[in-house]
Amino acid sequence: MRSKVFRAYNVWPDFPSISISGEACALNCRHCGRMYLHDMVPADTPDILVKTCEQLAAEGARGVLLSGGCDRQGRMLNLDRMLPAVRKIHDMGLIIKLHTGFVDRRTAGKIAEAGVDIASMEMVGDKSTAKRIFGLDATAEDYLDTFVNLWDAGIPHICPHICVGLHDGKLKGEMTALNLLKTRIKPSTIAIIVLRPTKGTKLANAKPPKGEDVEAVTGHARKLFPKTKIILGALRPRGSEIKGGMEQRLDIEIGALDGGIDGAEVPSKEMLAEAIARGFNIKRIQAYGVLPLEYEDRVRTDQT
Ligand code: SF4
């Protein structure tokens, strides 16, 4: 998908994030330390999940991200028992993006039956990164197995997240992750995210990757997947956290543009100006960047 349209995504308020485990998580990842869960709407029982989604839909939400904490093997807490409720949310007409965690073939089949539209999961290409960051004994092939299970189950849209610099800010395994995905699945969208040193975590003082690192990983993804939508995700250093942060933000955003992305979540106005200077028209979309193109008439959009 190469066109002269640059997609600018904004998630809030049309696509709220819900944690199906509340604030619970058995892992304590170096880059997150359970901090990500604080910003999500908690809904840790099937009943609460359905009621929460009914209310969000009544308030105008078009879709939801279902995410949450994991068990010690990297599987989503509560996922199995929530899937009948997920089906009800699907039947309400909400678009469902599920962060799956590790899944076997059986769970992947149940996710497909629940009507999940978009399945996302990080793809890690180096087992030392999985150990150091998540505390998991998982190889790159273990990550790939989850994607193959989701693919074989027939989930319509599978969207791997590749985190540039996840290994304490250094590149390690990102290219392998992409190479492995290429051998087995056809992603609907690839989301490039970037290590964001986050206050209160073990990586609070890590040095995030540079724009040239983001360009290298994005460019590799573009080369391997020339027709796939590739976006820069919201999870990246976005400037307000540190001194000099805005320059760092733009360096990363320009690196992603140079690498060949098709859009970005919460792009800075400077990034949009640069995209326009490069000949793109801007299409603003109130949704996650992994929203499939054919779903765009189900959400609010505005093209300039
Ligand atoms: S599993 Fe997810 S929520 Fe739990 S600490 Fe790791 S990144 Fe954070």
Quick: pLDDT tens for 226-267.
999 999 999 999 987 666 788 999 999 999 999 999 999 999
Domain enclosing residue 294, as ranges: 5-303
Asked if pLDDT for residue 2 goes beyond 50, the answer is no
Q: Which atom of ligand 1 is nearest to the CA of 134?
A: 6
Pairing of strands 281-285, 301-303: antiparallel
Ligand 1 site-directed mutation target among 34, 120, 166, most atoms within 8 Å of CB: 34
Per-residue confidence at 12, pLDDT binned at 50, 70, 90?
Answer: confident
Q: Using the structure block, give the residue that is written with the tokens 């997150």.
A: 32
The total number of structural domains that make up the chain: 1
Query: Average pLDDT of 15-20?
Result: 97
Asked if pLDDT for residue 190 goes beyond 80, the answer is yes
**3-state secondary structure at position 253:** helix
The predicted pLDDT at position 82 comes to 98
Give me the CATH number covering residue 258: 3.20.20.70
Q: What is the CA(36)–ligand 1 centre distance, in A?
A: 7
Asked if pLDDT for residue 183 goes beyond 60, the answer is yes
Query: What DSSP designation does 196 have?
Result: -
Question: In whole angstroms, what is the distance from residue 265 CA to residue 268 CA?
Answer: 9
The predicted pLDDT at position 239 comes to 83
- Ligand 1 within 6 A of 70 CB? yes
Q: What is the CA(157)–ligand 1 centre distance, in A?
A: 23
The predicted pLDDT at position 104 comes to 98
Distance of CA 164 to the CA centre of its chain: 13
Asked if pLDDT for residue 48 goes beyond 50, the answer is yes
- Ligand 1 within 6 A of 124 CB? no
Q: What is the pTM of this model?
A: 0.96
What residue type is assigned to position 46 of the chain? P
The predicted pLDDT at position 242 comes to 64
- Ligand 1 within 6 A of 101 CB? no
- Ligand 1 within 6 A of 69 CB? yes
- Ligand 1 within 6 A of 36 CB? yes
Tokens standing for 71?
A: 């068990």
- Model confidence pLDDT, tens digit, residues 98-116: 999 999 999 999 999 999 9
Separation of first and last alpha carbons in the chain? 19
